[in-house]
Amino acid sequence: MMRALVTLTPPESKRLIAKAVVALDEVQYALKHGFVYIATGTTAAYIAEEILGKKIEKEKWTVGVISKGRTCVTPKETWPKHLVLYKGKPFEGDPVEALKEMGPEDVFIKGANAIDPNWNVAVFAAAPDGGTIGRTFGWTITKGVLTITPISLEKFVPTPVEYSAKITGIHSFDWGTGLYSALVPIPHAVPVTEVEAYDILANVDAIPIAAGGAGGAEGSVTLVLEGDDEDMKKAKEITKQIKGEPYLKPYTENCENCPFAKICGIGSGAF
C-alpha cells in the first residue's frame, strides 16, 4: 500500500475530472452508439476538449459565471451552444431535437455550483425560464437519461442544497454583490469529483483533507491518495499530466450591456 499527498488547483481539478468523465464506460458507450449532450459551463468545457481533442475558448463556453468576486454572466454575443454528439460526431439538428430522442443509454453532462455533504449537487439559474436546467431537465428526467455532474470539491458547501433552494431565487434578494440567482438541485445526478476521478482513472482512494490556498493556489483541494503500488504509479502519472493546467481568465459582461441588470445588485444600483 502506497500513500501520497496531492494538492490540485481548480483548473487542475477540472482537467482531472474531465479525463475521468470521458473514461466512464457509460460515456464511452454513448459516444459510440448514441447521444452525449454536454451543457455549457467552464468545467464542461474541459470535457468538450477531451472529447474533441482540441482546445476551445473555455472562458467563453458558459453563460453564467462566478468571476471577479461576483455572480455574473458572459457577454451575450459570445454565448455558446450546447455541444451535442451523436455516435461521436456533432449532431446537426437543434439540441432540443436531440433531447427528444435521448433515452437511458444516452448521457447528459452538466456542471454545478454546489455539492453538499450528502453528495447532492445544485446549479445556479438566473434566467426567468430556468436557464439550462429549466429547459433540459424535464426531458432528461422523464426519459431516464443518465445525468453526470462534473464538479470539483472546491464547490463543497456544508448547507444541504434542498435548503439552499428554498432561500434563493431571482426575486428573493434586496441587495447583493452580483447577479441574483436561484440555486436549483439537479435530481438523479451522478457527481464526479476528484474522489471519483482518481478511482475511475487509477483505482486509488482519494481522501479530501484540506482546501484553499494563496498565491495562485486559491480554491485548491488537498487529498491523500492511497492504493496498491501499480495503481499509485498510474495515479502519479495522471497527476503529473494535469499539474500546471493554467487558470481561466476572468470574462464577464459589461454592466451597461447586461440583459440581467434588473436582477443584479450591481446593475440595478442596489449595491
Write the DSSP assignment of 47-83 as a string of letters.
HHHHHHTS---GGGS-SEEEETTEEEE--GGGPPPPE
How far apart are alpha carbons 4 and 231 in whole angstroms?
A: 12
Q: Read off the pTM.
A: 0.95
Q: Provide the pLDDT for residue 221.
A: 98
| Strand residue runs (E) in 26-163 | 35-38, 64-67, 70-73, 83-86, 89-90, 107-109, 114-115, 121-125, 146-150
End-to-end CA distance of the chain: 54
How far apart are alpha carbons 67 and 10 in whole angstroms?
A: 13
Q: Provide the pLDDT for residue 130.
A: 76
As beta bridge partners, residue 86 has: 35, 89
Query: What tens digit of pLDDT does each residue of 191-238 get?
Result: 999 999 999 999 999 999 999 999 999 999 999 999 999 999 999 999
Q: 163: which residues sit within 8 A by CB, 6+ positions away? A: none
Judge contact between 58 and 64, C-beta under 8 A.
no
Q: Provide the pLDDT for residue 140.
A: 92
How far apart are alpha carbons 153 and 10 in whole angstroms?
A: 9
Tens of pLDDT, residue by residue, the chain (271 residues): 999 999 999 999 999 999 999 999 999 999 999 999 999 999 999 999 999 999 999 988 999 999 989 999 988 888 889 999 999 999 989 999 999 999 999 999 999 999 999 999 999 999 888 778 778 888 999 999 999 999 999 999 999 999 999 999 999 999 999 999 999 999 899 999 999 999 999 999 999 999 999 999 999 999 999 999 999 999 999 999 999 999 998 778 888 888 888 899 998 888 8
How far apart are alpha carbons 254 and 68 in whole angstroms?
A: 12
